Structure formats: C-alpha cells, structure tokens
Amino acid sequence: MTIQLDENYYRMLTDLQAADFVLVELTLYLDTHPTDRAALQQFNDFSMKRQKLAYEFQLAYGPLTQFGQSGPPQNSWRWAQDPWPWQV
C-alpha cells in the first residue's frame, strides 16, 4: 500500500510533532525541576494525547517505531516501506 502524501498526512504528522515537542520541552524541564507538580500533570496529559495521535497516525500510515514498540497490530510489514522522514 503506497502512502499518499496528502493534506491529511501532513496534518496528522504536524499534530503529532506539536504534541511531541511539548513532551520534549517538558522532559528537559522536569529533568531540572522534578518537583513541579503542575508540569508533571501537563506531561501526563500530553503523554495520553500523544498516544492517541500516534495510534491514529500509525493506523493510517504505518508504524512509527520498531522492535514491537509501535501501537496498532500489523497485518503487513509496512515498517521498511518509504517514505522515510527526510523524503517527505
């Protein structure tokens, strides 16, 4: 199955990148502010949100991670198919 790099693909990808960016920022912040309860709560909220976005993206466009770490079960091996991140 060939991936269509349409509007939907880029919208779902950007949604995930935005949520993941918040998680990267909060991760580094929590590394030096481990007692900030509000930041931890926000981290947990975004982590849930991220899982949902990643699951939906992977249902549509194939796995994001390998070694069995990606969300939905797979009925064909889509991991090694293009496009790769630098190609989109």
Partner 1 sequence: MNPEVRVYVPFRGPFDPCPPIGVKTFVTPPNLFIQFQPMGLPQFSPYEALRLGTLWPDLYSNYYPR
Partner 2 sequence: MWIYEKKLQYPVRVSKCDPHMAKLLIEQYGGADGELAAALRYLNQRYTIPDKVIGLLTDIGTEEFAHLEMIATMIYKLTKDATPDQLKAAGLGDYYVNHDSALYYQNAAGVPWTAAYIQAKGDPIADLYEDIAAEEKARATYQWLIDLTDDVDLQDGLKFLREREIIHSMRFREAVEILKCEREAQKIF
Nearer to partner 1, 36 or 56 (CB): 36
- Out of 3, 9, 13, 36, name the contact with partner 1 by CB under 8 A: 36
CA dist., res. 48 & res. 22, Å (int): 12
Residue 36 binds which entry of partner 1, partner 2, none, with Cβ cut-offs from 5 to 8 Å by kind? partner 1
- Out of 3, 9, 13, 22, name the contact with partner 1 by CB under 8 A: 22
Residues in the chain: 88
Q: Which tokens belong to 45?
A: 């909220």
What phi and psi, each to the nearest 5 degrees, are found at residue 24?
A: -65, -50
Question: Given the rule CB under 8 A, which residues bind partner 2?
Answer: 10, 13-14, 16-17, 20-21, 24-25, 27-29, 31-33, 62-67, 69, 79, 84-86
Is 40 a residue that touches partner 1 (CB under 8 A)? no
Give DSSP secondary structure letters for 14-54.
Answer: HHHHHHHHHHHHHHHHHHH-TT-HHHHHHHHHHHHHHHHHH
Is 44 a residue that touches partner 1 (CB under 8 A)? no
